[in-house]
Amino acid sequence: MLLENCKECKKKVSTSAKFCPKCGVPAPTSEFSREHPKCIYDDCYEYAEIHGKKFKGQCAKHYAEYIDRSSVFLIIKVVVIGYLIYVLLFKVLF
């Protein structure tokens, strides 16, 4: 467990702390910049991934959730379109 100074109150805080125990600032040891941006979600203080456009300013956790939701919607679309083609070809034409 490493200790660094809080960016607001300068008290020693663990680098894994989500909030400073003294002043309450979120991500007390994280310094966000253009090279190391914050995740686009307001309640998340993780570093955003900047590997091309695929992460879209999200941290790895939020990107994984985005992919999971996208996959579910894609499966639903394929099933619905497949059912509509089945109905059109076999029920209506025959």
What are the tens digits of pLDDT across the range 2-43?
888 888 888 899 888 888 888 888 878 877 777 777 887 777
51, 56, 58, 63 alpha-carbon torsion, rounded to 10°:
-90
pTM for this entry: 0.48
Kindly compute the dihedral angle of the four CA atoms of residues 25, 29, 32, 35, in this order, to the nearest 10 degrees: -170
Can you tell me the distance from the alpha carbon of 30 to that of 26, in angstroms, rounded to the nearest whole number? Answer: 9
**32-41 pLDDT tens trace:** 777 777 887 7
List for the chain the helix, strand, coil content (%; round to 5).
35, 10, 55
Q: With the C-alpha atoms ordered 5, 7, 9, 15, is the resulting torsion angle positive or negative?
A: negative
Cβ atoms of 44 and 62 closer than 8 Å: yes
> How many CB atoms lie under 10 A from the CB of residue 1?
6
